[in-house]
Every structure is written in structure tokens, then in C-alpha cells.
Chains A and B, each alone.
Chain A
């Protein structure tokens, strides 16, 4: 036996609390009357708003998530559609100076040589230094490439700072902007 059987039996007596005879028909008449009154009393805007809220109320479970999504979409739209910020009238506009074009500081072909220099090959280190000093001003477009006469004579020579002097000089001038 259910432990609450007695109390349930007692509560069920409340189902006899029903409206009196004729209540339903009278209620229906009042319902029609009220609908007509509403149509006359309420403005079209109020009726429209009532419809909108009724429609919205029926999105029972996702109501708040829908509202949040709607607010998020509106916010994003406003943010995306707003014009770019203009400088204030009192401020002076500073012209934008374009940056210098990128100039590589090292010829990529030197990479194997650099690796050799790292391995302690002094000859190759000298060669790399010489080539760098020669190439940089030329790459930056500040001096013309050195003439063949300024380069060491034909044939392989031991590269030293002395026989690279013209090129070093040209490089220095280029770096100083002469």
C-alpha cells in the first residue's frame, strides 16, 4: 500500500470543485465579448506588438539563446557597418613615409660559404667578408657595381683585406651614403 494513499484520496476530493452549471457557455460569451472589446480598444500598433510578443513567447526553450544571438548579430552589424574613424579636426596629419624596400643583407649564395667559415676555414671566412662588403652597397643601389679593374687580378689570389681595399672603400662610401 502506498504510504500516501490516504492523503491522495483526500486531495482527489478537490476534483469535485467544478464551476457551476452553465459556467462554460457564459464563459464563452464573455470570451467573445472580450475579443471584440480588445479589437476596438487596442490600436493597431498594440495589436501588432501583442502578436509579436506572442510569437516570441512561443520560442519557449531557446528564447534567451535566440535573444542573445539577435543582440550579437546586431552588435556585429553595427560594428562592421560603421565608417572608418576620421582624425579630429584640430589634429595635424603627418604624412606617412614609406619604409625602405627590403634589402637582403647577405647573398643567399653565401650560405654554403658561411657554413664553411663556421667550420673554421679562415680562407673562406675572408672570402665571405670580402663578398659581403662588395655586395651590400650595390644591392642597396647606392653605388655602381665595381669595375672589373678594381677587382683583384685574374686568377686565384689569396684573399686579404689589402687586395680587397677598393671594394671595401666602395662599400664604406655606400654605407655612409656618399
Chain B
């Protein structure tokens, strides 16, 4: 397989726009009301809706599939126990994201900084994702030009080099597509702090992945 690095310019311009979170607060509110009234199916619908989003969040913070699945179970278990205390002052997705971020940060603190990302932690299914293939080969014509496995490895390694706080904002902003204001609510910090953390995180990532972004 060729070792030609992926040129960032290969991605189409449309991929620059982060996907807006499909929060649909009104729909969530109805499901939450039903769950608070004891309708467990309503809570199941919330789990179905937020599992892919929270999976992406936790996976990109831990870089480990097993830890992600375990943490996700804990997050929804905690949300289920606390659903009656959810007063609706914030949207449900802000609330559940706050739980997920806090639990993941606590987990990472316990796991410590000595954890090394192994090759096994790389998502092996992504190279078959049709959308991923389309984005990474849009201008080059062939997947052979991109060593996807290497790219994933380097991306994960670069992310894991960041501090937990920096990794969290990058995940929420660049990967999850949330806005600064939403991130500040989730993390309980000012928007200025979010912007500052993003700036430093981007600068560090640019250094770590210099050869990919030439």
C-alpha cells in the first residue's frame, strides 16, 4: 500500500461546514416528559437517538472501543436514574452531553496519562465507510493514494497527545460540530475559554500532523 499522505485539500469544501446537531429540542422535550412519567420506551427512543452522537464523542476522547461502550452504558444508566431531576432549564442534548463529558473526563483521570494508544484501538471499519471513501478520494480518484490506516493512527495519536481539556473542545467543535456557545454550556466554562482552548489545540495538532496538512 502506498504511503502517500492524505492531502487535506482532497476533501471537498462542503466538508468544512460542521454538521449542525439535530437536537430537535421540542421532540426531545416530549420524550423526556414521557420518560419522567415512567414511559421506559420514551427513554429507549432517547437512547437510540443519542447513542451514535455520544459514541463519537466518547470514542474520540478515549480512543478505545471497549472503554467507549462501557462508558456509554454508564452515561445512559446515570441519565436514567436522574431523568426525573431534569428540569428542562437546558436542552436535553446539552444535559446528556454534560453527563457524558464529565464521566469521560473522570474516567480519563483515573486511567491516567500513561495509557498508550495501540494499533488495535484504531477504528478498522472506517476504511469501508462509503462516505469516508468519497471524501478522502474526491480529487485523487483512487483510495490507493491515501494510506487510511496510517492516517487514522496518526490522527488518533495526535488527539491523544492533547490534554484532556483540549481534546474535549476539539472533539465537540470539529468532530461533533457544536457551536462555541453550546460547548461553553456543556463544559461550564466561558466562550472565551472555549475559543482559547480551540486555538491552542489546533496549533498543536498542526504541529503533530504537519506532513499531512502541507
Contact = CB atoms under 8 A, between A and B. Distances in A.
A20 B209 contact: no
B60 A19 contact: no
Interface stretch (A49-57, A82-90, A105-113): A49-57
B56 A15 contact: yes
B8 A10 contact: yes
Contacts of B59: 17
B199 to A, nearest CB: 8
Nearest to B176: A15
Nearest to B155: A14
Q: Interface size class for chain A?
A: 35 or more
Say what secondary structure dominates the interface of chain B. Answer: helix
B51 A24 contact: yes
B111 to A, nearest CB: 20
Interface residues of B, number: 52
B44 A28 contact: yes
Nearest to A14: B175
Nearest to B72: A27
A22 to B, nearest CB: 11
Given A6-B213, A7-B202, A20 B47 contact: no
B135 A31 contact: no
Interface string B120-146: 000101100101100110000000000
Contact of A7 (B44, B77, B206): B206
Nearest to B173: A8
A35 B77 contact: yes
Contacts of A19: 51-52, 55
Contacts of B188: 60-61
B174 interface: yes
Nearest to B10: A9
B78 interface: yes
Given A11-B155, A54-B82, A16 B52 contact: no
Contacts of B155: 10-11, 13-14
* A-B pairs, 4 with minimum CB distance: A4-B202, A6-B8, A16-B132, A6-B213
Interface of A: 4-20, 23-25, 27-28, 30-31, 34-35, 38, 50-51, 54-55, 57-58, 60-61
20 contacts: A4-B203, A5-B16, A9-B11, A9-B16, A11-B155, A12-B18, A12-B175, A13-B135, A13-B151, A14-B155, A15-B177, A17-B56, A17-B152, A18-B52, A23-B51, A24-B52, A27-B69, A35-B77, A54-B78, A58-B82
